[in-house]
Amino acid sequence: MTPARKKRLYLVLLMVLGIGTAVALAVTAFDENLMFYYTPSEIVAGEAPVDHPFRLGGLVTAGSVKRQSEGLTVQFDVTDNDKLVTVEYTGILPDLFREGQGIISRGRLRPDGVFVADEVLAKHDENYMPPEVAESLKTAHSGADNPGGVTP
């Protein structure tokens, strides 16, 4: 192999290595920022990843909101009229947050099955329901096995 070909080969290998590194970094960043939506039924069925960020949506179960005596930590249950998931959130809840209301929260599922929310979003008018929550409520079972006693 001539010295000119060796130089070209090293240049091509360096370019392939650089492009490969850039693609690997982009895929890693995309995977970290990719956030899926799960319903309480899917979480209880074990379809949601543990300790990986995702969004949870549903209705706040009536009588489930419990505030700690000190601090800003709040626990409440979210239902899709089929299953319940306990959500723990530390911070100030939105003004429109209340029992029986549709919410979407972003956070991680702990191994004990409690969803630790980083952010809680509540609907902002009487007629609006987040599309993911409305879809999950349509597909979920309702009626006799309604654990939250909440109607959409």
CB 40 within 8 A of CB 113: no
- Written as one string, the DSSP assignment of 110-146 is -TTS-EEEEEEEE--SSS---HHHHHHHHHS--STT-
pLDDT digits (tens, 9 = 90+) for 39-89: 999 999 999 888 888 999 999 999 999 998 888 999 999 998 889 999 999
The pLDDT of residue 138 is: 80
Instruction: Report the 10 Å Cβ neighbour count for 96.
Output: 12
Please check the confidence at residue 146 and state whether its pLDDT lies above 90: no
Please check the confidence at residue 26 and state whether its pLDDT lies above 70: yes
User: What percent of the chain is modeled with pLDDT above 70?
Assistant: 88
Higher pLDDT, 148 or 93: 93
The pLDDT of residue 128 is: 65
CB 106 within 8 A of CB 33: no
CB 146 within 8 A of CB 96: no
Q: pTM to 2 decimals? A: 0.66
Q: What is the mean pLDDT of residues 14-34?
A: 91
Instruction: Report the 10 Å Cβ neighbour count for 67.
Output: 12
The pLDDT of residue 125 is: 60
